[in-house]
A and B are shown apart, each in its own frame.
Chain A
Amino acid sequence: MFDILFSSYGYVIFFYATAITLIYLTLAVLGYLNILRNRIRYTKREENILKLYPETAPGISIVAPAFNEEIIIIDSVNALLSLDYPTFEIIIVNDGSQDKTLDLLLKNFDLIEVPFAYVEKVICKQVNRVFKSSNPEFDKLIIVDKVNGGTKADAMNAGVNVASYDYFINTDVDCILSPDTLTKVILPVLDSDIPVIAVGATMRMANGCDFDKGRITRVRPPKNFITTFQETEYLRSYLVAKMGWSMINAIPNVSGGFGLFEKKTVIACGGFDTNSHAEDMDMTLRMIAYKRENNKPYRIIQTPHSCCWTEGPPNLKVLARQRTRWGRGLMQIFFIHRKFLFNKKYGRMGLLIMPYAFFFELLAPIIETLGFLFLLYQLYTQQINFNTFWLMLAYVYLIGISISILTIVFDISIKKQYRTLGEYAKLVIFSAFEAFLYHPFVVIFSLRGYWQFFTRKNFKWGKMTRKGFNTQVENNPL
């Protein structure tokens, strides 16, 4: 009985790995075509024309919630203020910070409390005050001070309520946006016959980069192990997976770190879910469902350009917190939105996006762990056929490394971000060890997230330990 079970499981693992290979190769081809298409359609020329005629550029609100972010808040706001786009506003939502976040903002940007007719279009905790700057240099800046809601979603909703433009960007204050971000994300919106409800872009690790006053002056690969592995992992996710899915309008998730959203659709869906642990994927899925249920055409687009640099978890402890939360969030998504799974009423979302996420994202850590235990058992009982074992091991190993190096090639072909060949080589070398030194931890943390979802009722949001972007410029002392 055991033998039959183990033998069948061996086949399951094989076909599972093969399915992943085929899906990823297909996504890589689609992603590459999409990158080529993007490179031909949108160049610096189109960006410059858009900036030359402000009357043609749609306004964009940038919403960035901040909770106890005193270390990075000033650099972050300075970076946002230096974005190169004609019409935008920056809304920083101070989500009841207990440190000096708000005080630093008030002092550094000459902020004054202003009367504001606040309208709650989507639900969130009470908004206490709205600040604007008396200094014309910072006239694009709005600070919303609210009662802490415990989640990013709650703070985002407050920002959406205050936003005045049709599109808004959902980002974090620990993210540094590249100066041309807004033109890069709005061009595909303008170039679409079908209404675009969201646009995603490539995110990378900020950890190794050089900064000056919140602006990146030199892009480098991260210096420590964890973030270097994450850099490749992010690139794989954005340049292969999301660019590929974008080609067939089947992006499952516009990242919470950076994404452009159509405000009226977000409001029509009730805003971000304050109870969700994966508010970005939850929002994306609900927007798709809303459009499908109302028979409205839509598009979700991914742009290949690196628009956003975020501070990644610098050590295992912080990575554990982040990935456990992601694991919890993913499990929650399948509980809340289970009606979408295999439901043809929801089109690609029901028959493609959700089944893919279910089998290859949610179940992956479980299947991999069982496969590993199964391997240990076979080693112990000496049932391993070493003639074919190495072949199978090579197969599984090559899936990861081939896709990783392919991703790195995609990245250079879009824009050479690092200056030297050696810096790219570092990513290639690290990808060779990712399967042994990084991936097992991600699997363990995801499983821990699943476990917590079923066993705990109250969750605390994992704290991210900030190091800050700027070592040269000190925040203005109070």
Chain B
Amino acid sequence: MELTYYLQYYFFYLENTFTGYPMIIRWTSFLVGVLVFIFLLSVVRFLAINWYQGKLEKKKNKIDGQSVDIIKGLIFDAEKIRQDKIENQLAGFARLIRSKKDKLVFTDLLISYLQEGRQMGLVVNSENFRSVLSFFGIPGFWEKEMMSNSSNRRREAIRKIDDLGNGCAGSLILRSAHHKNNGLRKQARAASLKYDNNDPFQFLDDSFDLDFNALDKVLIHHFLVSRSEIGSLPLLTRWVLGSKNDLYKAFLIEEIGFFKQVDACPILADLLASADHTQVQCALIETLGALKYEYIQSFLINNYPLMSKSVQSSSIRAITCFGTENGLNFLASVFNKTFDSDLKIQLAYSIKDFGEKGQLKLDEISARSTEFDKRIVDQVSYQFV
């Protein structure tokens, strides 16, 4: 009531003072008012943020100071401790972690304990850890957050659940897998690879997401690695063939190489003959190289002059992986014909990777080459004593 009164008073005061002045002055008084408002608002926000952060810090220090030893002792204990014993040990801390804010702070602390433990080489006792989490109601809290209306809170919940590594119902994750928010949707789809036990790979169909980018590759890779730790992955070629997005195709092909899915080689080799997108070609060649599928070597050698620079570079890598005599001779002959200095340096390093035979070849090249080529050979051959 009083604030409104004062605001009205000053408004009328200013209006009265500047009535009759030119428009420019009245505009200025208005803009000054706006700037004063921004200034005051900023000061209030400045103090409020400081107060809030200080309070969080205090809370964190309090929880950490009182419970760190017991909680760390429980989660890194080699033996499984009974639920009721854990509850007895933690009973005194229950009052510390009650509100939403407490649980946020406590989750961050737990994540930091896990990271510290892993860095020190300690193994988490997942059963004890689960008991600790359920005693403080942490899984329930984050599951509730996953059902929040705010996409940001849901996104944060997926991150925290994954960081805690305690698992979560796949159906909860799937609630966000069709959300209109790109970031949340993609994060949920990637997480479903790990947490959905019904149909974990459903989002690998249809190129994962319309908005697929390099950061999604990192996320999918992370969840595929997590899934592969539980059991073997299905052959990823199924989704390569079904996709229309070339970047996504290239990514899946690279993953086939990473997870050493050797059975996929004949299919990939067939694809190589028809692939027309540079990134897909590179991924195919490098994956087949990594999987040591030597049958494509002759294809690579025959088609080398027709390839773009990036595909040539991938072919060099693949031929190096095969490590055949024929491949070595080919690389040496290409070295002498290449004008591109980047490729030349790559070729020299590849030849060097053939070991003693490679070094002999480099010496041969060096004996009858230009000054620059000799320099490349010297660079590649140089070894610190």
Using known A-B contacts A49-B219, A53-B222, A115-B379, determine if residue A399 contacts B35 with beta carbons closer than 8 Å: yes
A23 within 8 A of B: no
Select which of B155, B221, B378 is within 8 A of A56 by beta carbon.
Answer: B221
Q: Which residues of A contact B36 (CB under 8 A)?
A: 398, 402
Q: Which residues of B contact A43 (CB under 8 A)?
A: 156, 159
Select which of A53, A112, A115 is within 8 A of B221 by beta carbon.
Answer: A53
Contact with B along A113-125 (1 / 0, CB 8 A): 0111111000000
Contact B46 A428 (CB under 8 A): yes
Using known A-B contacts A115-B382, A391-B25, determine if residue A45 contacts B159 with beta carbons closer than 8 Å: yes
Q: Which residues of B contact A55 (CB under 8 A)?
A: 221, 258
Contact A45 B46 (CB under 8 A): no
Binding stretch for chain A, among B94-102, B208-216, B233-241: B208-216
A406 within 8 A of B: yes
Q: Which residue of A lies closest to B183 (CB)?
A: A41
Binding stretch for chain A, among B37-45, B72-80, B134-142, B313-321: B37-45
Contact with A along B347-385 (1 / 0, CB 8 A): 000000000000000000000000010011011001011
Using known A-B contacts A117-B375, A187-B215, A391-B28, determine if residue A53 contacts B35 with beta carbons closer than 8 Å: no
Q: Which residue of B lies closest to A49 (CB)?
A: B222
Contact B385 A134 (CB under 8 A): yes
Contact A421 B42 (CB under 8 A): no
Using known A-B contacts A40-B152, A55-B258, A424-B50, determine if residue A117 contacts B379 with beta carbons closer than 8 Å: yes
Interface residues in A, total, Cβ within 8 A: 50
A14 within 8 A of B: yes
Contact B49 A412 (CB under 8 A): yes
A435 within 8 A of B: no
Give A132 to B221 CA distance when docked, in angstroms.
34
Contact A395 B28 (CB under 8 A): yes
Give A395 to B36 CA distance when docked, in angstroms.
9
B29 within 8 A of A: yes
B275 within 8 A of A: no
Contact A53 B28 (CB under 8 A): no
Using known A-B contacts A50-B218, A191-B213, A399-B35, determine if residue A116 contacts B49 with beta carbons closer than 8 Å: no
Give A391 to B31 CA distance when docked, in angstroms.
10
Q: Which residue of B lies closest to A397 (CB)?
A: B35
Q: Which residues of B contact A394 (CB under 8 A)?
A: 32
Contact with B along A16-46 (1 / 0, CB 8 A): 0010010001000000000000001101011
Contact A409 B42 (CB under 8 A): yes
Contact with A along B155-169 (1 / 0, CB 8 A): 110010011000000
A344 within 8 A of B: no
Select which of A46, A49, A406, A408 is within 8 A of B38 by beta carbon.
Answer: A406
Contact A11 B378 (CB under 8 A): no
Q: Which residue of A lies closest to B49 (CB)?
A: A412
A465 within 8 A of B: no
Q: Which of B32, B217, B344 counts the most A-chain CB atoms under 10 A from its CB? A: B32
CB distance from A82 to the nearest CB of B (A): 16
Contact A115 B378 (CB under 8 A): yes
Contact B215 A413 (CB under 8 A): no
A316 within 8 A of B: no
Q: Which residue of B lies closest to A130 (CB)?
A: B379
Binding site secondary structure of chain A? helix
A190 within 8 A of B: yes
Select which of A46, A398, A405 is within 8 A of B215 by beta carbon.
Answer: A46
A193 within 8 A of B: yes
Contact B32 A395 (CB under 8 A): yes
Using known A-B contacts A117-B376, A398-B35, determine if residue A53 contacts B50 with beta carbons closer than 8 Å: no
B345 within 8 A of A: yes
B306 within 8 A of A: no
Contact A401 B45 (CB under 8 A): no
A382 within 8 A of B: no
Q: Which residues of A contact B6 (CB under 8 A)?
A: none
Contact B225 A192 (CB under 8 A): no
Q: Which of A11, A391, A428 counts the most B-chain CB atoms under 10 A from its CB? A: A391
Contact B53 A191 (CB under 8 A): no
Give A50 to B384 CA distance when docked, in angstroms.
31
A268 within 8 A of B: no
A388 within 8 A of B: yes
Contact B376 A45 (CB under 8 A): no
Contact B28 A114 (CB under 8 A): no
B7 within 8 A of A: no
CB distance from B247 to the nearest CB of A (A): 9
Q: Which residue of B lies closest to A119 (CB)?
A: B341
Contact B42 A406 (CB under 8 A): yes
Contact B28 A392 (CB under 8 A): yes
Contacts of A82-112 to chain B: CB distance below 8 A: 112
B5 within 8 A of A: no
Contacts of A153-196 to chain B: CB distance below 8 A: 187, 189-193
CB distance from B21 to the nearest CB of A (A): 7
CB distance from A155 to the nearest CB of B (A): 21
CB distance from A272 to the nearest CB of B (A): 20
A416 within 8 A of B: yes
Give A53 to B222 CA distance when docked, in angstroms.
8
Contact B213 A405 (CB under 8 A): no
Give A21 to B222 CA distance when docked, in angstroms.
46
Q: Which residues of B contact A114 (CB under 8 A)?
A: 379, 382
Contact A52 B384 (CB under 8 A): no
Q: Which of B46, B225, B375, B379 counts the most A-chain CB atoms under 10 A from its CB? A: B46
Contacts of B4-39 to chain A: CB distance below 8 A: 21, 24-25, 27-29, 31-32, 35-36, 38-39
Contact A45 B163 (CB under 8 A): yes
Contact A191 B222 (CB under 8 A): no
Q: Which residues of A contact B21 (CB under 8 A)?
A: 388
Using known A-B contacts A53-B225, A193-B211, A388-B21, determine if residue A405 contacts B32 with beta carbons closer than 8 Å: no
Contact B24 A52 (CB under 8 A): no
Contacts of B50-102 to chain A: CB distance below 8 A: 50, 53-54
Contacts of A209-263 to chain B: CB distance below 8 A: none
CB distance from B297 to the nearest CB of A (A): 24
Give A190 to B42 CA distance when docked, in angstroms.
34
Contact B45 A409 (CB under 8 A): yes
Give A134 to B385 CA distance when docked, in angstroms.
8
Contact with B along A419-456 (1 / 0, CB 8 A): 00100100010000000000000000000000000000
Give A191 to B225 CA distance when docked, in angstroms.
20
Contact A112 B28 (CB under 8 A): no
Give A46 to B187 CA distance when docked, in angstroms.
11
Q: Which residues of B contact A45 (CB under 8 A)?
A: 159, 162-163
Q: Which residues of B contact A40 (CB under 8 A)?
A: 152, 155, 183
Contact B379 A18 (CB under 8 A): no
Q: Which residue of B lies closest to A399 (CB)?
A: B35
Give A40 to B341 CA distance when docked, in angstroms.
43
Q: Which residues of B contact A11 (CB under 8 A)?
A: 24
Select which of B375, B379, B384 is within 8 A of A112 by beta carbon.
Answer: B384
Select which of B39, B45, B155, B384 is within 8 A of A398 by beta carbon.
Answer: B39
Q: Which residues of B contact A416 (CB under 8 A)?
A: 50, 53
Contact B341 A424 (CB under 8 A): no
Give A43 to B31 CA distance when docked, in angstroms.
38
Q: Which residues of A contact B25 (CB under 8 A)?
A: 388, 391
Q: Which 6 A/B pairs are nearest by Cβ-Cβ distance?
A: A115-B378, A398-B35, A190-B214, A191-B215, A190-B215, A117-B376
Q: List 20 A-B contacts (CB under 8 A).
A: A11-B24, A18-B31, A21-B31, A21-B35, A45-B163, A50-B218, A52-B222, A53-B225, A55-B221, A112-B384, A114-B379, A117-B344, A117-B375, A117-B378, A118-B375, A134-B384, A192-B214, A391-B28, A405-B42, A405-B46
Q: A21-B35, A115-B379, A193-B213 are in contact. List 17 more A-B contacts (CB 8 A).
A: A18-B31, A43-B156, A45-B163, A53-B218, A56-B218, A115-B378, A116-B375, A117-B344, A187-B215, A191-B214, A191-B215, A192-B213, A394-B32, A402-B36, A405-B43, A408-B42, A412-B49
